[in-house]
Amino acid sequence: SNPNDLFSQSSYLDFLRVTKQYLPHLARLCLISTFLEDGIRMWFQWNEQRDYIEATWSCGYFLATCFVLLNLIGQLGGCVLILSRNFVQYACFGLFGIIALQTVAYSILWDLKFLMRNLALGGGLLLLLAESRSEGKSMFAGVPSMGESSPKQYMQLGGRVLLVLMFMTLLHFDSNFFSILQNMVGTALIILVAIGFKTKLAALTLVVWLLAINIYFNAFWTIPAYKPMHDFLKYDFFQTTSVIGGLLLVVALGPGGVSMDEKKKEW
């Protein structure tokens, strides 16, 4: 085989080895960033958020306040638990609940782009749940296990497939050369991550691609804070960062049992 290929393969493996202890931490931090930002926003925009919910759902002052409070405590509390590695599974279920609540409360169900992004966030949380399960398992290192636990495998599969939905919202249907190229490369990488083939490399490439798109298109810091566009871009920026976190978890943990990479080992 080509020595250059071997060199690039070994430098990529070196990269994974060096980052192995930091990657899961970085992945978790990225993954919860959107919940952290949203929880903090609930605090600073308390009145606006409450008035919006009260006006939209005509649910009265008390229920609207409860909604904002639940979002604030649920999201910030979940983030603290996940970062401190305590009760991670409960925190993930709590954040799933928040995603579901917001999807209904902000009428995201009817907006395909936002719905896909929320599902992608759910995918990231599924991967986090799978990771916390594997940590729980590794405590009983001496006990023989029946292969890899299958709920975890399917969580990782579900997480990968849902994460990929984020990219469906980034495909641009223009006819210029750059857009077509971006769509082709993006689609190829998406399929690789979803089926779990060359998963770590494909996920890492998607991380770099998303990072570039995020910093270029969602530069909310270049827009004055009083303009509505600032908030939109900020929301997009942190949602994209969360999906990057999910992909970093794929890089850190691998694709799991239900994937082409695992099946290849059996061949």
The per-residue pLDDT for 40 is 95
What average pLDDT does range 44-62 have in this prediction?
A: 92
pLDDT at 111 over 80: yes
- Residue 81's pLDDT band, with cuts at 50, 70 and 90, is very high
| Nearest-angstrom CA–CA distance, 96 and 121 | 9
Give how many domains the chain has, as a whole number. 1
What average pLDDT does range 55-75 have in this prediction?
A: 94
Residue 136's CB is within 10 A of a number of other CB atoms, namely 13
| Nearest-angstrom CA–CA distance, 137 and 151 | 12
Report pTM: 0.84
pLDDT at 4 over 70: no
Residue 66: both structure tokens together: 């409860």
- Residue 1's pLDDT band, with cuts at 50, 70 and 90, is low
The per-residue pLDDT for 137 is 55
Q: What's the gap between Cα 4 and its chain centre?
A: 33
Contacts of 149 (CB under 8 A, 6+ apart): 133, 137
Segments forming the whole domain that contains residue 44: 3-264
pLDDT tens by residue, 115-160: 888 999 999 999 999 988 876 555 444 444 445 557 888 889 999 9
